[in-house]
Amino acid sequence: MWREARGKLLQVLLGPTVRHQIMSSEMLPAFSETCNVERQKNLSEDGEQNQKPGSSERFQPISKRQMKKLMKQKQWEEQRELRKQKRKEKRKRKQLERQCQPESNSDGSDRKRIRRDVVHSPLRLIIDCSFDSLMVLKDIKKLHKQIQRCYAENRRALHPVQFYLTSHGGQLKKNMDENDKGWVNWKDIHIKPEHYSEFIQKEDLIYLTSDSPNILKELDESKAYVIGGLVDHNHHKGLTYKQASDHGIDHAQLPLGNFVKMNSRKVLAVNHVFEIILEYLETRDWQEAFFTILPQRKGAVPTDQACESCSHDKKFARVEGGLNSDSSEEENRHELDSTHEEEKQDKENSTESTVNSVPH
């Protein structure tokens, strides 16, 4: 009793706000329990609604696009066995073709078998990269691509040469490090930072340059042939010839003029010279080597055909000249005849006039 009276007295003294706080603190656990129960009920109801779709969703019509997709999927499933059968037939047909096809050495299909028949040539072929400072980056990149082509062709050749890359450094090495990191793993190639004259005897060297007066007739496989690694677009004319002369090295040019007539200049790219030598080692025929390697844009024509076409043009010009002279003679004759006729008519007219003027 005393406690209840004390509680009422406190309520009266403290006022309504404190009374509300006391009530809320006493009723808080019960209130939180009721909230949790209601929340669980709401969640269970939402789950049931999600599991049971509404009537509007069940009767929603399918669009034409969805219908087409369903039809295609159905056809795909139905034709599964048919596709499997076709694949089996194709495999069998290819297998029969491989069995019936004879073994061939052409192209690169049987490259592994071809590589067994390779005979390495003792001929040394050097690309001199000492012109690095004379080229801009664009030309350095072109030279890099040409060297890549030389390496690939030498690896595929039936008679690969002893390939040397000398004076390797500067812009070229930097470009290769950045764009072709695999060059350090290249096989059958000697890449050296030194100049070729430091490890090859001068007597064995022959510098290939289009400015040389000496024409190469045969390849001596005991020699080392040097190709100038320079892409200059004809800015440095005669530079390789001058360098060979200054170093006291023998020089020569490929016998291009003896077999080929070209529309463009006789200066060839590094990879073209390299590939022509590889082709000659295989065929031992300069003309065949030139026409196998030279690109069509060079307009290469055999010299005998070029001579025939020249003689034909001259004959044609003579015939045309003769026809023109004949026609001019005929025209002159016609003019003379016409003048004679005019003179005769004038004479006749004058005689008639004199006769008429005489008195009878």
Three-class DSSP category at 214:
coil
Choose among 224, 161, 160: nearest CA to 196.
Answer: 224
Joined tokens for residue 292: 């196998």
Phi, psi dihedral angles at 305 (to 5 degrees):
-65, -35
Q: Is residue 107 annotated as a catalytic residue, yes or no?
A: no
How far apart are alpha carbons 118 and 160 in whole angstroms?
8
Q: Name the DSSP class of 206.
A: E
Q: Name the DSSP class of 181.
A: G
Catalytic residue from among 139, 180, 232, 250: 232
Q: Cβ contacts of residue 172 below 8 Å, gap of 6+? A: 129, 132, 140, 143, 144, 229
Q: Using an 8 Å Cβ cutoff, are 182 and 215 in contact?
A: no
Q: Using an 8 Å Cβ cutoff, are 282 and 160 in contact?
A: no
Burial (Cβ within 10 Å: 0-12, 13-18, ≥19) of residue 167: buried
Q: What single-letter amino acid sits at 7?
A: G
Joined tokens for residue 165: 């890359």
Which residues are known to be catalytic? 232
